[in-house]
Each structure stands twice: as C-alpha cells, then as structure tokens.
Homo-oligomer: A and B are copies of this chain.
C-alpha cells in the first residue's frame, strides 16, 4: 500500500511505548511502580454520582440521548460549559463560542486542520505535550521551541522568534501546570505574552488547559483567553482530568468564526461527539457539585505531590534538578548532562520503576537527560518505594 506523504511525519507516542515496555515486564510476572502515566486516579472518579446521572439521562432524555444530535454539541451541555467558562475563567463568551470535542486532543487536531498549511511554523514551549506535537505532524508544519523559566514562557525569546520568522502561524501553550514540566506561568508573564502576540497579525494561540483547576498551592492565575482582546486565543477545556477521561468530553472556546469553521470540520471528521456522554456530563453538572469534587482531587494530589517531592529531596543524588509544581500531575527531572534517560529506562523498569523519557516532549531535538514523573496514580507507599528505587538507578548511572 502507498500511504500519503504526511504519514512519514506521524510518530507513535513515546508514552504508549513506555507502557508497552511496562506491560512486557508485568506479563513476565514482574511488578513495576509506574510514574509514566498521565492519568487521573480512577479511585477518585465520582462513580455513584455518575451512575445516578446516567440513570437520570435514561429517565429524562431517553431516546434523544442515544440519537443523532448537533455537530456543534448538545445545547444543554454547551450552555452549562459556557456558564462555567464565564464564572470560573472570567471569559466573555456564550454557547455560540463553544464546540464540544472528543478530548482536548481533538481540539488540538482541529486547530491544526483549520489553520496550518504545510511548512507554517508552530511554536511550542520547550518541552511541550508530545500528544499535541503528534497531532500537528500530519499537517506538516515546522516547529520552533521557546525557552521557559520559573515564571513561564520567556517572552523576549518568543518576541525574537516572531520578529525573525514571518511564517509563524500558531503558538501552542499549556500555561498552567504544564505537561510535562509542571510549570505555571505567572499572571505578569501571561499579560506580557498576550502583549507580544498582539503585536503580530494572524497568529493563533492554542491555550490547552486540562489541569488549570487542579491547583493545590499558590495564587490563581487568569487564563490567556480571559486576557484575549483580539480573538486570537483558541482555548481548550476538558472533563478528562477533573471528572473522568473515558467519556471524552472536552470543549473548544473561540471566536464564533473559528467555532463555525471547526463545526464544518467536525461534520467531516466524525459528524458529532457521543450524544449519551454529553448528556451524562450535563446531568452531572446540573445535579452535582463539580467544584466540591475538584476540591477532593486537589487534596489528594497535593498529598502525593508533597510526598514525592519530600522523597525526591531525601533520596535523589546531588546534581539532579527538578520542578516543584503548584498543581497538575507532573514533576520534571533533569539528570546531569550525559545521562540518557531513555537508555536508563530499561534499567529502571528492570529495577521496578517506570517514567516517560523527557526527550520525546520536544518538537525538535530533545534533552536526553530529562524525565517526566507523574504522582497522581500511585499510592503513598508506592511513591516512596518507587522514588527510592529510581534514586538508586540514577546513582548507578552517575557512577
């Protein structure tokens, strides 16, 4: 078979290949403490409430909930989400500015589809979410990375890149509790970013915000969309990290014109999202307190994050650097130069602990001495035990 040229650019996700290595070890009777996931803890899903909401869908909406609906999304859900965006994120938007998508992932893919021509430049933070980079690849853009520091994206670096590259079309960012670094931009940095972006014409900002509500330390920061005066920001929200990922309910917030284009693309791409899941989420939002549920998640992740940080500080050898997140799901580790974390992964899995190698989170050449650690899915005992094992693996590699 002869495939389209774009397929040469498409790569498998390194996260899923880590998972395969782990699965192979487990299949052979081994056990692995995995910090490789990017998953919420299933034990925190509000199963009773979801079940109850599901029953209500059958009682109240019945056939309509399993029939065809609108490509743009279920009206009731769109209104509920618009209200949430107004109240929680201070956005001046209405249901007409929203579109329901299958995970933020589909919002990223649709953004690529409607905006990117071959060889347009996409800017991403260094490092960035590899799933986004993979979603862009079939549209054959070029990538440029922008530096980040403790306060977020380095706007001077961004400004330099923009002034030197008239072909930049899109900037993809995760300003809050970034995947994979765990970093969060300060409010000042967000404002400065929007100022720089607004200097240029026709640059689209994709603000991917799946973790924004999972803040367990520090002061809230505004979304870029709430600071957007020119309609350049396409915001991606999701239920995956705050409610449950398997229902795949996420949404795009953007200018009506952009939403209309995405609706057209949605018709061709899969006609519409699952109608039943949209009803389940709408029913849940109407009958239960999502914010109270998020409080539970925050408390649980805060504990695990603090425990992981404490154990890292105690056991990791000197010369290893790491971030200290205020929320979200990830810690980013930089090993001493010269250590190849992907090579080390085999030793780690052999010793009983797993992570995702950081180099795959770069659009171009990646730093081989980096690691992404997740702290949301393992128990407290596993976190302590896993970090101790990992510390030894690193120590051995540093010898």
Main secondary structure of the interface of A (DSSP, over half): helix
Kindly identify which residue among B71, B105, B244, B275 contacts A268, using a CB–CB cutoff of 8 Å.
B105
Determine if A209 is an interface residue (Cβ-Cβ < 8 Å).
Answer: no
B67 and A102 contacting across the interface, CB-CB below 8 Å: no
- The interface residues of chain B lying within 8 Å CB-to-CB of A105 are 268-271
A-side interface residues, number (CB < 8 Å): 75
B102 and A267 contacting across the interface, CB-CB below 8 Å: no
A268 and B135 contacting across the interface, CB-CB below 8 Å: yes
Cα A255 to Cα B169 in complex, Å, equals: 37
Determine if A277 is an interface residue (Cβ-Cβ < 8 Å).
Answer: yes
With contact pairs A109-B268, A277-B277 given, residues A47 and B63 touching in the complex (Cβ less than 8 Å): yes
Determine if A2 is an interface residue (Cβ-Cβ < 8 Å).
Answer: yes
Contact mask for chain A residues 136-170; partner B; CB cutoff 8 A; 1 contact, 0 none: 01110000000000000000000000000000010
B113 and A6 contacting across the interface, CB-CB below 8 Å: yes
With contact pairs A45-B63, A58-B47, A62-B47 given, residues A4 and B117 touching in the complex (Cβ less than 8 Å): yes
- The interface residues of chain B lying within 8 Å CB-to-CB of A217 are none
B275 and A246 contacting across the interface, CB-CB below 8 Å: yes
Contact mask for chain A residues 270-281; partner B; CB cutoff 8 A; 1 contact, 0 none: 111111110010
Between A51, A116, A139, A248, the greatest number of chain B beta carbons within 10 A of the residue's beta carbon is seen for: A248
Chain B nearest CB from A376 CB (Å) reads 12
Determine if A317 is an interface residue (Cβ-Cβ < 8 Å).
Answer: no
Within 8 A of B (CB), among A12-60: 12-13, 16, 39, 42-43, 45, 47, 50-51, 54, 58
A131 and B268 contacting across the interface, CB-CB below 8 Å: yes
Surface stretch bound by B, among A258-266, A331-339, A364-372: A258-266
Between A2, A62, A66, A115, the greatest number of chain B beta carbons within 10 A of the residue's beta carbon is seen for: A66
B12 and A264 contacting across the interface, CB-CB below 8 Å: yes
- The interface residues of chain B lying within 8 Å CB-to-CB of A276 are 246-247, 276-277, 280
Determine if A68 is an interface residue (Cβ-Cβ < 8 Å).
Answer: yes
5 more contacts with CB within 8 A, not counting A50-B66, A134-B267, are: A68-B246, A102-B270, A103-B272, A105-B270, A246-B276
